[in-house]
Chains A and B, each alone.
Chain A
Amino acid sequence: MRNPLSETIVNIKPSGIRKYFDLVAQMNDPEVISLGVGEPDFETPWHIREEGIYSLEKGRTFYTSNSGLQALRDEISLQQHKLNNVIYNPYKEIMITVGGSEAIDIALRAMLDPGDEVIIPQPSYVSYEPCTVLAGGVPVIVEMKEKDQFKLTLEELEAAYTPKTKILILPFPNNPTGSVMTREDLEPIAKFCVDHDLYVLSDEIYSALTYETKHFSIVSLPGMRDRTVLINGFSKAYAMTGWRLGYACAPLLKIHQFAIMCAPTTSQYAAVEALRNGDKDIEVMRESYNERRRYLMHEFRKMQLDCFEPYGAFYVFPSIKSLQMTSDEFAMELLREEKVAVVPGTAFGACGEGYLRISYAYSLEELKTALRRVERFVQNRRARLKGEEIV
């Protein structure tokens, strides 16, 4: 019998995070504390949920237009103007998608011809690389380094560029490192893209969650609006992960959804309410994340574990290189010995080796308990390295 899977699929390696997920799920131990979740711990604010319920009561249970509810696209257009000072035509330059992840997928499929190269800075979200491959493109990985605050530098971009490069992916604020790119960081990148006729796929799903400076989008820079697909969504900003709603803004690009009739209607009605009246909710959640971010940084300093200070998203990315173990070993042993689940940095690219992704989308009490265990684990490991006896 022939292999039912295509060669392309066979050649894609399984997501590292899934393997680890299965392991945690199999443990099925109530003692396990997970710091491995990539979604807010808040429930969707009630006024947004209530709007979803109302839309169901009203019988709004039909398809919307393929590109989404007009009211929602109007609100997105207004918000983009307010936040990034760009104008997207709400009739033809904004498309509502099933989460930001669908927007990434269809943008790549719409833009890539076989053999086109896509520059993917890593560590970053797990789907860029396989989606590029599935769209017939060739992923070119650029490693972002801690010494550069996990930012994409012009030098790295120049080194990765070839005449076949078509798209640069910009995953900032970054999952898993929490790094952000400022206006000054983006200016040379934008100039390079204009000079070399590159398109940018800017995944700004965490844009509402930055802690020191306001998020700056590359679309605000001269010449970039017309060569950027801006991707954002409702999952992180409004704690709406399960609603599966994102969007893409892109001028004159026919990102068309053949695969999907439209994004969930109930979610779209709820999202209109989120955009109209949700600013206060974001503020409250951001303040809470920021507090926990400071707490984790404080704890890692106390443990004397190197930790890059994140300015966005809700992750910290401490280095465990001093403990002489790989990310996988650390994660597995921490799970076994102290029953704390964290995600090895390697799940986000080979250059994540030596790091862990720790999410702070947890209550302070949970973080405290978990961090006490991590501290004990690190101390034991250090003692073992010194060859001392542990009583």
Chain B
Amino acid sequence: MKVKILTIIEKNSKMSISDIAILLGENEETVAQAIFEMENDKTICGYHTMINWDKVSKDRVTALIEVCVTPQRSSGFDRLAERIYNFPEVESVYLMSGAYDFCVILDGKSIREVSSFISEKLSTLESVTSTATHFVLKKYKDHGTVMVKENKSERQLITP
């Protein structure tokens, strides 16, 4: 049942516990208890809202920064990652295989904010050897949701 709950709220965290209970044919207490347990053990790490910021402000950008670093003795990449992800403006940090080490994503910032973050905070970290920044031009799909899709049904109104 936990997986079923997760499948539902992964797409719609706004759904109420009573609705989830109806959809799954369980009682509310059981569902509430399961969600409580998953919140506690951090299976559910948080509830976010997907926002298309383009609709609100024109000057916000999403930047993907490739970061090359020199790993540190004993702590490897983890200590460095922590120094980066602790900046509140950082949306995501991934350790990558391939040509660079960290992928750092900044979301919903102005170009000025992005550039000052890179030049003043990120590049100045001792172990960072180089960065390359890419700006997102258009978001087509994010978190499994198509952002550019029109909501028009092609179906007939009545069919047998």
Is A272 interfacial (CB 8 A cutoff)? no
Is there an interface contact between B25 and A36, defined as CB atoms closer than 8 Å? no
Is there an interface contact between A37 and B22, defined as CB atoms closer than 8 Å? no
Smallest Cβ-Cβ distance to B153: which chain A residue? A41
In the bound complex, residues from chain B placing their C-beta under 8 Å from that of A298 are 22
Is there an interface contact between A126 and B23, defined as CB atoms closer than 8 Å? no
Is A161 interfacial (CB 8 A cutoff)? no
Q: List 6 A-B contacts (CB under 8 A).
A: A21-B157, A34-B157, A37-B158, A38-B159, A298-B22, A364-B19
Is there an interface contact between A126 and B160, defined as CB atoms closer than 8 Å? yes
Is there an interface contact between B157 and A295, defined as CB atoms closer than 8 Å? no
**Which residues of A are at the interface with B, using a C-beta cutoff of 8 A?**
15, 17, 20-21, 24-25, 32, 34, 36-39, 41, 125-127, 175, 287, 291-292, 294-295, 298, 341, 343, 347, 364
Is there an interface contact between B157 and A24, defined as CB atoms closer than 8 Å? yes
Is there an interface contact between A37 and B156, defined as CB atoms closer than 8 Å? yes
- A15-B160, A38-B160 provided; 11 other pairs, C-beta below 8 A? A17-B159, A21-B158, A25-B157, A25-B158, A37-B157, A37-B158, A37-B159, A126-B160, A175-B160, A287-B7, A364-B19
A39 and B159 in contact, given A295-B22, A295-B23, A298-B22 (Cβ under 8 angstroms) = yes
Complexed CA–CA distance, A235 and B4 (Å): 26
Is B155 interfacial (CB 8 A cutoff)? yes
Closest chain B CB from A298 CB (angstroms): 5
7 closest A-B pairs by CB: A291-B23, A36-B158, A21-B158, A34-B157, A38-B159, A298-B22, A126-B160
Closest chain B CB from A176 CB (angstroms): 9
Complexed CA–CA distance, A39 and B160 (Å): 8
**Contact pick for B157, options A15, A36, A287, A291, CB 8 Å:** A36
Is B24 interfacial (CB 8 A cutoff)? yes
Closest chain B CB from A313 CB (angstroms): 12
Is there an interface contact between B158 and A343, defined as CB atoms closer than 8 Å? yes
In the bound complex, residues from chain A placing their C-beta under 8 Å from that of B153 are 41
**B residues 124-160 touching A (CB-CB < 8 Å):** 153, 155-160
Closest chain B CB from A281 CB (angstroms): 14
Complexed CA–CA distance, A41 and B153 (Å): 9
Complexed CA–CA distance, A25 and B160 (Å): 15
In the bound complex, residues from chain B placing their C-beta under 8 Å from that of A25 are 157-158
The listed residue with most A CB atoms (<10 A of its CB), out of B22, B25, B156, B157, is: B157
**Contact pick for A34, options B4, B7, B158, CB 8 Å:** B158
A39 and B157 in contact, given A291-B23, A295-B23, A298-B22 (Cβ under 8 angstroms) = no
In the bound complex, residues from chain A placing their C-beta under 8 Å from that of B25 are 294
Smallest Cβ-Cβ distance to A33: which chain B residue? B157
In the bound complex, residues from chain B placing their C-beta under 8 Å from that of A341 are 157-158
Complexed CA–CA distance, A291 and B19 (Å): 10
Complexed CA–CA distance, A309 and B112 (Å): 60
Complexed CA–CA distance, A127 and B159 (Å): 12
Closest chain A CB from B6 CB (angstroms): 13
In the bound complex, residues from chain A placing their C-beta under 8 Å from that of B22 are 294-295, 298
Complexed CA–CA distance, A125 and B159 (Å): 11
Complexed CA–CA distance, A354 and B8 (Å): 35
Is there an interface contact between A24 and B158, defined as CB atoms closer than 8 Å? yes
In the bound complex, residues from chain B placing their C-beta under 8 Å from that of A294 are 22-25
Closest chain B CB from A173 CB (angstroms): 15
In the bound complex, residues from chain B placing their C-beta under 8 Å from that of A17 are 158-160
Complexed CA–CA distance, A21 and B159 (Å): 8
In the bound complex, residues from chain B placing their C-beta under 8 Å from that of A21 are 156-159
In the bound complex, residues from chain B placing their C-beta under 8 Å from that of A20 are 158
In the bound complex, residues from chain A placing their C-beta under 8 Å from that of B159 are 17, 21, 36-39
Closest chain A CB from B18 CB (angstroms): 10
Is there an interface contact between A37 and B24, defined as CB atoms closer than 8 Å? no
Closest chain B CB from A366 CB (angstroms): 9
Complexed CA–CA distance, A364 and B15 (Å): 11
Closest chain B CB from A102 CB (angstroms): 15
A291 and B160 in contact, given A37-B155, A39-B155, A41-B155 (Cβ under 8 angstroms) = no
Closest chain A CB from B151 CB (angstroms): 10
Complexed CA–CA distance, A347 and B158 (Å): 12
Smallest Cβ-Cβ distance to A368: which chain B residue? B19
Closest chain B CB from A177 CB (angstroms): 14
Is there an interface contact between B4 and A287, defined as CB atoms closer than 8 Å? yes
The listed residue with most A CB atoms (<10 A of its CB), out of B7, B19, B153, B160, is: B160
Is there an interface contact between A347 and B160, defined as CB atoms closer than 8 Å? yes
In the bound complex, residues from chain A placing their C-beta under 8 Å from that of B8 are 291
Interface string of B101-128 (1 = CB under 8 A from A): 0000000000000000000000000000
